[in-house]
Amino acid sequence: MDNTAIVLRQHHELWSKGHVGLVDELYAQDFIGHHPGEPDWTGPESVKLSVTTIREAFPDFAETVEDVVAAGDRVVTRFTSSGTHLGELGGVAPTGRRMAMSEMAIFRLARGRIVEQWGQLDRLGMFQQLGVVPATWPPMELLYEITFDVDVQDLGTTPSGQRRIVVVKGGSFAGPRLRGRVLPGGGDWLLVRTDSSRRLDVRGTLETDDGALIYGSYLGVIRGTPDDPSTYYFRTAPLFETAAPRYAWLNHVLAVGYGWRREGQIGYSVYAIR
């Protein structure tokens, strides 16, 4: 089976039909997958988990391939993922809405198996279709998708309210103009208020893949719980500082972040307001 046939089989039989048993046949044991704003997928088990998770959220999930380009050990596909949101997705309760999301992926193959993948997907468009974020925006530009690995220290109730320190252990970020890692040592000095909403006070340092340091700080608000998307609200307003000439434009940017959280991790889609 040639490389193109292997890649199309994972689109049509694995992702569209949910035949998870094919993973060990199609993916190498040392497989790694890269997707902006989330940890790398490592090994076939990570693919099985991702397929299972997405198909639990979208039982009729399917990928329709529109274009294929193959050269050497690489295959590139442009495709549309679609499905009806009937299960929980990243803490978002089922909305019953249907979505169609544009994606592109680059696959590297060796010895008849997929060994590496780079994926790019329109998460914003998906969440707009699901009603999680507004369909009408001021002009915005995606800065990056970011994931923080965190621990939480609960200080208890102080005169200001219930104080929690969310300690940043690391993480990664990626976007069209910058990507890299989150340095350990930042944090969120979170305050739970009397109405159960939470006020965020976050500071941290990003290191780009070309060695630049970027200081980020922001306030934010969380209200409601992820299992009720009609009331759940997790928004931030980041500002940046850097001495790196290549990224000096960030010093003049006000951004907005749409957040999510799960056990041990917090993430955002961050957009610059133009």
What does the DSSP assignment read for 119-188?
A: EEE-HHHHHHHHTSS-S--SSEEEEEEEEEEEEEEEEEEETTEEEEEEEEEEEEEE-SS-EEEEPTT-EE
Render pLDDT for 99-139 as a digit per residue (tens, 0 to 9).
999 999 999 999 999 999 999 988 888 888 888 776 666 77
Render pLDDT for 36-54 as a digit per residue (tens, 0 to 9).
767 789 999 999 999 999 9
User: What is residue 61's predicted lDDT score, i.e. its pLDDT?
Assistant: 97
**Fold held by 3-130:** Nuclear Transport Factor 2; Chain: A, (3.10.450)
User: What is residue 137's predicted lDDT score, i.e. its pLDDT?
Assistant: 62
Beta strand pairing status for 113-121 and 27-34? parallel
User: What is residue 164's predicted lDDT score, i.e. its pLDDT?
Assistant: 95
Beta strand pairing status for 265-273 and 198-208? unpaired
User: What is residue 260's predicted lDDT score, i.e. its pLDDT?
Assistant: 86
Hey, how many other C-beta atoms are within 10 angstroms of the C-beta on 69?
11
Alpha-carbon distance values, 264 to 4, 35, 168, 210 (Å): 38, 19, 10, 27
Alpha-carbon distance of 164 to 189, in angstroms, equals 6
Mean pLDDT of the chain: 92
Q: Hey, what's the torsion of the CAs at 16, 129, 105, 8, to 10 degrees?
A: 20
Q: Kindly give the confidence (pLDDT) of every residue in the chain, 274 residues in length, as a single tens digit, with 9 standing for 90 and above.
A: 799 999 999 999 999 999 999 999 999 999 999 887 677 899 999 999 999 999 999 999 999 999 999 999 999 999 999 999 999 887 788 999 999 999 999 999 999 999 999 999 888 888 888 887 766 667 788 899 999 999 999 999 999 999 999 999 999 999 989 999 999 999 999 999 999 999 999 999 999 999 999 999 999 999 988 777 667 889 999 999 999 999 999 999 999 998 988 888 999 999 998 8
User: What is residue 229's predicted lDDT score, i.e. its pLDDT?
Assistant: 65
Beta strand pairing status for 27-34 and 41-42? antiparallel
For the chain, what's the residue count? 274
CATH 1.20.120.80 is right for the domain spanning 140-273 = no
Alpha-carbon distance of 119 to 104, in angstroms, equals 6
Read off the tokens for 162: 């219930």
User: What is residue 50's predicted lDDT score, i.e. its pLDDT?
Assistant: 92
Per domain, the residue ranges of the chain are 3-130, 140-273
